[in-house]
Structure 1
Amino acid sequence: MGGAFLAAAVLARLGSRIELPTIPLFILAGILLGPHTPGIVLVKDPHELEMLSALGLVLLLFYLGLEFHLDDLKAGGRKMALAGGAYLALNVGAGLGFGFALGWGTSEALVLAGVLGISSSAIVTKVLVDMGRIGNPETKPILGIIVVEDIFLALYLAALQPILSGADSASAAVMDGGKAFGFLLLLALAARFGTKVVGRLMNTKDDELLVISFLGAAVLVAGVSEWFGVADAIGAFMVGLMLGGTTSGPRIRKLVHPLRDAFGAIFFFAFGLSINPGDLPTVLWPVLAAAAVTLVMNVAAGLTAARIFGFGAQPAANISTTLLARGEFALILATMAAGAGLDSRLAPFIAGYVLVLAVLGPLAAGRSHWLARILPGGGKGGDGGGPGGSEPLYAKDSGGREAPVTS
């Protein structure tokens, strides 16, 4: 584990000199020091880091919830639902069509619909933090789309499970979906009406007790969420949403930073451990084709979301590139597909596709201004804004973070 931390740190420090984002470098460290490549093997079995990896995902989404205010959700709920629905319709629909075009089978096509359709919440969160975009206006629809994706994810997994297991039981799928939806509704009600009660329970002047309290709450609710068939990430997100609105919220945001960064690095390192580079050449062309389809659909979804919210070219480009990466959910589907005995090409395809977009996504997000130039309204002389040029330009500040430019 110490070697994993140090290897990730060394590669990230080297990469920072040429302005590479940390996410693909953490993944590369896992690939190079994992069981599938020659040389030093730090971790023979990727499952040895499974719990630490899960904790990294939980903390990343918990932090995202802390930054996402409940008032934003209430104020923009309808627009966020529209943007999220459009994103899913474009990407899941394209994934299903791509799956049928490959001709690997109906079950395989249904799996690929989810693989190509759902963004990586962990990578999206890390990109927003690393790029300094948490305060940008387009971040709210990005977070809204993630929430809609996680709700869809719970229902999608419940419906897919009987198909992969070969069970011909629509009632079982309905029961699982109902259980997941009911728990999501309970979490939403708790976030809406339970903030004051939770705030009083969390309130303490002792930082040690506060860390233990919020960490225990986030991990416990994440575990219970998983038991109900809801992604553990969405449970952690809802806890963060509740705690972010309490008087302890600012202190929690400060205290969770080192935990988020450390275990987030382990999450991406473990992600790399699961990838076998030797399997990738057999599915190279389908992987590249799928990545191209996803890029086109994300641009279309970004333009749609920007239109819904009245944004211009630069925010549309930020939305498109930030949501591009695919990750943890795709790997879960690969595991499910292997267990169900589906086409043997599916697992290496998913691994290659995820690797390409896990690297391409953060790189594209850091260079979104290139995309903005070719989007409608993003040409030279324009401000990249909405109607009447009201939307701000974005530029790097002295700390390397992206911020609106004012006259």
Structure 2
Amino acid sequence: MHSAVFLIEFGAIILALGLLGRIAGRLRFSPIPLYLLAGLAFGEGGLLPLGASEEFVAIGAEIGVILLLLMLGLEYTASDLVTNLKTQYPAGLVDMTFNALPGAAAALLMGWGPVAAVVLAGVTWISSSGVIAKVLNDLGRVGNRETPVILSILVLEDLAMAVYLPIITALLAGVGWAAGGMTLAIALGAAGLVLFVAVRYGRHISRFVSSDDPEKLLLVVLGLTILVAGIAQQLQVSAAVGAFLVGIALSGEVAEGTHTLLSPLRDLFAAVFFVFFGLHTDPASIPPVLLPALLLAVVTACTKIATGYWAARRAGISVKGRWRAGGALVARGEFSIVIAGLAVTSGIEPRLGPLATAYVLILVIVGPLTARFTEPLAQRLFKQRAPRAVPVPAPAVPEPRPSKEPAAEKLAEEPAAEEPAAVDASDGATRA
């Protein structure tokens, strides 16, 4: 009987997610807010609270985070990451300063303490790579000049996560400075070692994992990823960081084949992850934090636009491209929920989960709109301001002349009209 209830509940969740994904596809926006709303509906205080399948959903959510980070690592090669780190690190520092500080300041102003401040800083800092990539593709901007700037910022944020997540894990676990420093050293050492091995021996690793049989390739890559993620979590680093490093180590045809095979699984378990986060958020707890979430969303949307504008200007992009780059970076999504989910599980601040849910719901909806309309709105605003800044440049030159020298203009214009008249008069005189 228990298994039958579990199958009914879990089947209903998957069916609902599929229908919500279809609705989002027809409306051409990210399904993440709909998945979060579904989690709120199935959670405590929702319309249909779950019972038997909640534990399985929790395991599926962990797998969802691992697959999200693995697929993200597959998008980049180790050499690309090293190059971006060397050339674009100023943009990464500006991004962190502009967007992490508002979240930390908001947590401290609400009296949540320093640990919650570090967590909320990460929530407001990291943009949604998945949402932004989809928006760029939908708007046909993949080949634009500003797109490499956007991707560089996203890559730097992903690299920063490899350092940030172990810090958060250590802080939430309540370990001391010595244990926290050891955890961070292990994470940095592991990341550096993986990058070194991937650059030097990436081809050999890919050959070892490679297989012409899709089934064997899927089993080897998925098993290796979950194994490394479990070892990383056992070392208090982060399962997500371990999965990200595995993705970086794979390259070439193996990365492409793995991406094709794991994309449906990633989408399935990522949707389960968003539902799981919603399950742990009481809908009644969102209205009290809705105003702070809205204010924080407005502030950090502006800071993301400023980040993209500054980075694009540094790269020599035109003014229109700068505004497009800024507007494209506004969306928050999976990483913000991952970070907030760690805090919710540890129970450091009960209002942090509802605030993060409302914040992501707002910006995951607003993000595609800012990507589309920031540049035309900025053009209109600056066009309206331009005449005020330069009141009379061109009209001032020709206008004074008619008033000051009317006779000179008439002398210059009349000869062509008067000469025929003079000839006619003289002809008339001779004829007379």
What pairs up with 1:220-369 in 2 under 5 angstroms?
220-245=227-252, 247-312=253-318, 313-314=320-321, 316-318=323-325, 320-322=327-329, 324-330=331-337, 332-333=339-340, 335-336=342-343, 339=346, 341-342=348-349, 344-361=350-367, 363-364=368-369, 368-369=371-372
Shift of 1:286: 1.0
CA contact (8 A) 1:141 1:305 kept: yes
State the partner residue of 2:43: 34
Shift of 1:279: 0.5
Shift of 1:211: 1.3
- Length, aligned pairs only: 373
State the partner residue of 1:51: 59
- Aligned letter for 1:118? I
Q: Which runs of 5+ in 2 are unaligned?
A: 1-9, 384-432
Deviations 1:21-42 (A, max 9, x none): 322222222222333312x334
1:95 lines up with 2:115 in the alignment = no
State the partner residue of 1:176: 183
Shift of 1:114: 2.7
1:81 lines up with 2:89 in the alignment = yes
SS at match of 1:360: helix
Shift of 1:126: 6.2
1:16 lines up with 2:19 in the alignment = no
State the partner residue of 2:420: none
Q: Give the TM-score taking structure 2 as reference length.
A: 0.73
Shift of 1:176: 2.0
Q: Which has the higher helix share?
A: 2
- CA 1:122–1:374: 2 relative to 1, 3 Å: closer
CA distance in 2, matches of 1:58, 1:138: 30
Q: Give the TM-score taking structure 1 as reference length.
A: 0.77
Greater alpha carbon shift after TM alignment, 190-199 vs 291-300: 190-199
Q: Which has the larger radius of gyration?
A: 2
- Aligned letter for 1:370? F
State the partner residue of 2:415: none
State the partner residue of 2:399: none
State the partner residue of 1:193: 200
- CA 1:249–1:309: 2 relative to 1, 3 Å: same
Percent same amino acid among aligned pairs? Answer: 33
CA distance in 2, matches of 1:204, 1:211: 9
- CA 1:243–1:164: 2 relative to 1, 3 Å: closer
Shift of 1:71: 4.2
Greater alpha carbon shift after TM alignment, 62-71 vs 284-293: 62-71
- Aligned letter for 2:206? G
SS at match of 1:37: coil
SS at match of 2:156: helix
- CA 1:359–1:45: 2 relative to 1, 3 Å: farther
- CA 1:52–1:141: 2 relative to 1, 3 Å: farther
- Aligned letter for 1:96? A
State the partner residue of 1:5: 14
Greater alpha carbon shift after TM alignment, 59-68 vs 225-234: 225-234
- CA 1:375–1:302: 2 relative to 1, 3 Å: farther
Greater alpha carbon shift after TM alignment, 11-20 vs 143-152: 143-152
- CA 1:69–1:136: 2 relative to 1, 3 Å: farther
